[in-house]
A = this chain, B = another copy of it.
Amino acid sequence: MQAIGQNVRQISFWAENAAPIGLVALVIVFAILSPTFLTLGNIRAMLVAAAILVILAIGQSFVITTGGIDLSISATMTFGAIGFGLAFQAGAGFWLSALVAIVAGLLIGLINGLLIAKGKVTDFIATLGTLSVATGLALIVSNGKPITVTSDELLILTSGSLGIFGYPIILAAVIAVLAWFFMFRTRFGLHVQAVGGNEESAVANGISATRIRMAVYLISGGLAGVAALLLVARVGAAEPAINTQFLLNSIAAVVLGGVSLTGGKAKIVGPVIGALLLTALTNGLTLLGVSQFYQPLAVGLVVVLAALLTRFQKK
């Protein structure tokens, strides 16, 4: 107790925990302002809504831990969704189509990995390129038309739940637990952190930076494929439109979660909470009936404030 009390007085305590503190603060404010906010129904809805962003943020977190960035993540999700839609339309059934979505995501991840790890192209530019490429491919293969998908499995995925936890957020939670396990309890995760912290030293100790980089972009692509499933389930169709919002939000969630963009410091819980925070923010603003025009302003201010806080983190 006392230890915590002491901690609280230090600014770095606030900085390390910007995301959970921000989340708690938001919850308190919204709970006071809106009676609906803390109802079970709304919490359930919020969690389901957060699932896609949580999964993307986890993928992004692996990439950012190595000091990279994946700008193609939401375009990859779109591409995966179209892959699912086409496979399903062709009669492949749910499971095979899901596989196609994930493979499509892995494909873009592979291209990113090859460009960045083997081709030594700057992450920013490589993924900016694949953003365009994935978008173009999604448009071309779908002929620019949304593909309506009606599948029992998808219906179960969207509407099923255990208590207040809908299946999407349960899937996201399972992924988060696995991600945490791999990041902090296996050699692979340690090597991801080492490459992000100091690539030269990692290489001198026999770690293959090339393989690690390949792996994180594959993870991010694969998770974008999984997110594509939830996306198709949620909107009931595979659409070739890009969801730019998801890209910026996935990065914001990771940074709000206390991960430095320079790499080397891994976090999984932080980005998950960051994603929840961003979702709660839009949810609360919607509940309060705040005009659409003020919402980007509010999101921007929260991001900037959280970033100002995180800078007091201990090195």
A252 within 8 A of B: yes
How far is it, in angstroms, between the C-alpha of A298 and the C-alpha of B132 when the chains are bound? Answer: 8
Report B-chain residues with C-beta under 8 Å of the C-beta of A251.
124, 128
Contact B296 A130 (CB under 8 A): no
A136-B296, A139-B296, A298-B136 known; A121+B261 contact, CB < 8 A:
no
A96 within 8 A of B: no
Contact A121 B307 (CB under 8 A): yes
Interface string of A290-306 (1 = CB under 8 A from B): 00111111111101100
Contact A303 B132 (CB under 8 A): yes
A144-B293, A248-B128 known; A133+B308 contact, CB < 8 A:
no
Taking the closest CB of chain B, its distance from the CB of A121, in whole angstroms, is 4
Most chain B CB within a 10 A radius of its CB, from A139, A296, A308: A296
A89 within 8 A of B: no
Interface range, A side? 35 or more
How far is it, in angstroms, between the C-alpha of A131 and the C-alpha of B245 when the chains are bound? Answer: 12
How far is it, in angstroms, between the C-alpha of A130 and the C-alpha of B311 when the chains are bound? Answer: 17
Report B-chain residues with C-beta under 8 Å of the C-beta of A299.
132, 136
A160 within 8 A of B: no
Contact B115 A304 (CB under 8 A): yes
Q: Which residue of B lies closest to A312 (CB)?
A: B120
How far is it, in angstroms, between the C-alpha of A124 and the C-alpha of B260 when the chains are bound? Answer: 11
Interface SS of A by simple majority: helix
A39 within 8 A of B: no
A126 within 8 A of B: yes
Report B-chain residues with C-beta under 8 Å of the C-beta of A133.
296-297, 300-301, 304
Interface string of A187-228 (1 = CB under 8 A from B): 000000000000000000000000000000000000000000
Q: Which residue of B lies closest to A111 (CB)?
A: B304
Contact of A129 among B119, B135, B292, B307 (CB under 8 A): B307
Taking the closest CB of chain B, its distance from the CB of A48, in whole angstroms, is 24
Contact of A303 among B129, B244, B308 (CB under 8 A): B129
A274-288: which have CB < 8 Å to B?
none
Contact B261 A131 (CB under 8 A): no
Taking the closest CB of chain B, its distance from the CB of A131, in whole angstroms, is 7
Q: Which residue of B lies closest to A140 (CB)?
A: B293
How far is it, in angstroms, between the C-alpha of A307 and the C-alpha of B135 when the chains are bound? Answer: 19
Contact B122 A255 (CB under 8 A): yes
Taking the closest CB of chain B, its distance from the CB of A20, in whole angstroms, is 18
Report B-chain residues with C-beta under 8 Å of the C-beta of A86.
none
A235 within 8 A of B: no
11 contacting pairs across A/B (C-beta < 8 A):
A115-B304, A119-B311, A122-B260, A125-B307, A128-B251, A128-B252, A129-B303, A129-B307, A137-B297, A139-B296, A244-B244
Going nearest first, the 8 A-B pairs with the smallest beta carbon separation are A132-B300, A136-B297, A129-B304, A133-B300, A136-B296, A139-B293, A129-B303, A125-B307
